Structure formats: C-alpha cells, structure tokens
Amino acid sequence: MSINERIRKEAQRIRDEADVAIGRARAELQRSRNTFFDSDVTLNQIGICREEIERAEKHIKDGQYQFAAEAYASSDIRMYRLVFVHKDCPLPKDFCTSEQIFTEAARNITARTQEFIGQGRLREAGQFLGGYMRAVT
C-alpha cells in the first residue's frame, strides 16, 4: 500500500469517526430538546420546593406539625428527584449529592425536633418527626 493510500485510508477513518461523533451529538441534542426536563421545568421545581418550605413554616406557626413535616419531606424528595432521578437534569452534577441533600434534610429536621424538645414540647416533636418519617418512607 502506497503512502497516499495509507493517508487516504487514515483520513477516511478520521472522517468516519467524526461522522459518528457528530451523529451522537445531534441525537443527544434532539433527545435533550424532546425531554420533559428542561431548564424552565428545573426552575419551576426549585420554586415549588421553596413554596413547600414556606408552607411548612406556616404549618409550624399554626401548630400543624405533621403537615409541616410532610411539606418538608415533599421538598426534600422533590429536590432529590430533580437532581438524581432525571438524568437530563441541567443542574451541574456537583450541585449536590444525594448524601448532601439527605444530610441537610436530616440536619433541618433534627434541629427543628430539638427545638421543640428544648421548649418542652415533646408531643409536637414526636408529631413532627413522625410526620416526616411517614412522608419519606
């Protein structure tokens, strides 16, 4: 095989690889356009999480501890799904890990429960913690 033939063959191999890569990129772009999970949906879901947290705080003020815990749990689960269940999630993967999400959730729930216990409100602490556990399990 002459040098020119080898060069042509190598050039064709490179073109073929490039065509395959371009095809994959186009398919990925089309798939991401067709997916339900786009950046507008992401922002909407984050907004819903904020609303659920605000609702939880309102429930606490109203003495509805189980409902508050369920709202917190709903927000935590929504954030988990937002980042990890949807592989097309546009958030960067270092945004947070599932461990970080649930560690933060546990910190929040523990702090709120300890706050109730510190105030001598054991019944409310139990309702709150029980409501959260029922909601996430």
Angle of helix 122-136 versus helix 65-80 axis, rounded to 10:
30
Q: Are 105 and 43 members of one domain?
A: yes
Q: Are 44 and 25 members of one domain?
A: no
pLDDT of residue 125: 82
Domain count, the chain: 2
Q: Are 16 and 46 members of one domain?
A: no
Q: Are 83 and 108 members of one domain?
A: yes
> What sign has the CA pseudo-torsion 109, 50, 97, 74?
positive
pLDDT of residue 36: 44
Range of the domain at 20: 1-34
pLDDT of residue 136: 63
Pick the closest to residue 136 from 110, 102, 111, 95 (CA basis): 102
| Count of helix runs (H) and strand runs (E) in the chain | 5, 0
Q: Are 28 and 76 members of one domain?
A: no
Written as tens digits, the pLDDT of the chain (137 aa) is 777 777 777 666 766 666 666 666 666 555 555 444 455 666 677 778 788 888 888 888 888 877 888 887 777 777 766 665 555 555 455 555 556 666 667 777 778 788 888 888 888 888 877 877 776 66
